[in-house]
Amino acid sequence: MGDASIPLTTEEREEWGDPHEARFRNYMLSYSPMDNVRAGATYPALLIVAGLNDPRVAYWEPAKWAQRLRATVANGEEVLLKMDLAAGHSHSSDRYRYLRELAFEYAFLLEKLCRGSTTPGAVEPPTSVARDAHMVGTQFEE
């Protein structure tokens, strides 16, 4: 948003403010994922999902964020980046592809919930649930 020559930047400034003004810049930095990664902080396991053809968030932004998290996560949780080479800003419009993407995300979540996490206080569900969660993740592999 700092470059007024980029399309839509002028409209974004009308909605969110000009980042060259300190009050708007400070507010934007307060919710910026990249600028709020703290060294030594503990983070949960993360699955960062991005699309190569996203017109709103360039592919290198989630890649940089994933790398910064990997370099600073203190508790050893994994930070995964799934870059969809055919997607844009949101899920696929193809119903079956959308369901495969959703299954992948659910499988990640279930694996973390069911197989245990290194995060203190994680709940361990029965083994059968963990086995089923693993199957969800492998059924839809392309």
pLDDT digits (tens, 9 = 90+) for 84-93: 866 666 666 6
Report the first-to-last Cα separation within the chain, whole angstroms: 37
How does pLDDT run across 124-135, given as a tens digit for each residue? Answer: 544 444 444 444
Alpha carbon separation from 46 to 2, 105, 106 (Å, rounded): 29, 11, 13
pLDDT at residue 6 is higher than 80: no
Domain boundaries, the chain: 1-31, 41-90, 91-142
* Cβ proximity of 140 and 117 under 8 Å: no
Instruction: Write down the mean pLDDT value for the chain.
Output: 76
Q: How much of the chain, in percent, has pLDDT values that exceed 90? A: 21
CB atoms within 10 A of CB 101: 18
Q: Which of 24, 79, 20 is nearest to 48 (CA)?
A: 79
CB atoms within 10 A of CB 70: 13
> What's residue 89's pLDDT?
64
Burial (CB count within 10 angstroms: exposed 0-12, middle 13-18, buried 19+), residue 90: exposed
- The structure's pTM equals 0.67
pLDDT at residue 20 is higher than 60: yes
> What's residue 94's pLDDT?
73
Q: How far apart are CA 93 and CA 79, in angstroms?
A: 26
How does pLDDT run across 29-77, given as a tens digit for each residue? Answer: 998 888 999 888 888 899 998 888 777 788 889 999 999 999 988 887 8
